Amino acid sequence: MREVSILIELAVPDLSGNERKYLNECIDTTFVSTVGEFVKRFEKEVARKAGAAYGTVVSSGTDGLHMALTACGVGRNELVCIPAFTFIATANAVVHCGAEPWLIDIDEKSWTMDPELLERELAEKAYEKDGKLFHRGSGKRIAAVMPVYTMGMPADMDRIRDVTDKYHLPLVADAAAAIGAKYKGRNIGNLADATVFSFNGNKTITCGGGGAIVGDNERIIERAKHIATTARVGQDYDHDMVGYNYRMTNLQAAVGCAQIERLEEFVIKKHYISDYYKEHLKGIPGIAFFPETDWGESVCWFTGLVLDDTRNVREVCDRLADKEIQTKPFWKPVYMQKPYLHVEKSDMDVTEKIWRHILTLPVSTCLTEKQLESVVMAVKEIL
Interface residues with ligand PLP (CB under 6 A) are 60-62, 86-87, 89-90, 148, 174, 176-177, 198, 200, 211
Q: Least CB distance from residue 203 to ligand PLP, whole Å?
A: 6
Q: Which is nearer to ligand PLP, 151 or 281 (by Cβ)?
A: 151
Q: What's the rounded Cα separation, in Å, for the pair 189 and 213?
A: 9
Q: Which CB sits closer to ligand PLP, 96 or 135?
A: 96
| Minimum CB distance to ligand PLP smaller for 149 or for 276 | 149
**CA dist 213 to 190, 205, 270, 381, Å?**
11, 15, 23, 43
Minimum CB separation of residue 298 from ligand PLP in Å reads 13
Q: How far is the CB of 149 from ligand PLP (least distance, A)?
A: 7
342 burial (CB, 10 Å; 0-12 / 13-18 / 19+) is exposed
**Residue, CB closest to ligand PLP:** 61
Task: Give the residue from 45, 11, 34, 27 showing the smallest Cα distance to 259.
Answer: 45
Q: Please, which residue, 73 or 208, has the CB nearer to ligand PLP?
A: 208
Q: Tell me the closest approach of the beta carbon of residue 23 to ligand PLP, in angstroms.
A: 20
Closest CA to 300 of 314, 290, 308: 290
Least distance CB 34 / ligand PLP (angstroms): 17
The distance of closest approach from Cβ of residue 92 to ligand PLP in the complex, given in angstroms and rounded to an integer, is 9
Please state the closest distance from residue 357 (CB atom) to ligand PLP, in A.
19
In contact, 80 and 144? CB cutoff 8 Å: yes
Nearer to ligand PLP, 200 or 249 (CB): 200
Nearer Cβ to ligand PLP (87/276): 87
Whose Cβ is closer to ligand PLP: residue 110's or residue 200's? 200
Burial 299-325, CB ≥16 within 10 A → b, else e: bbbbbbbbbeeebebeebbebbbebeb
- Long-range contacts of residues 364-368, Cβ cutoff 8 Å, at least 24 apart: 364/9, 364/10, 364/11, 364/12, 364/13, 364/14, 365/14, 365/204, 365/265, 365/266, 365/269, 365/270, 365/273, 366/12, 366/13, 366/14, 366/16, 367/8, 367/269, 367/273
Of 266, 270, 116, 247, nearest to 206 by C-alpha is 266
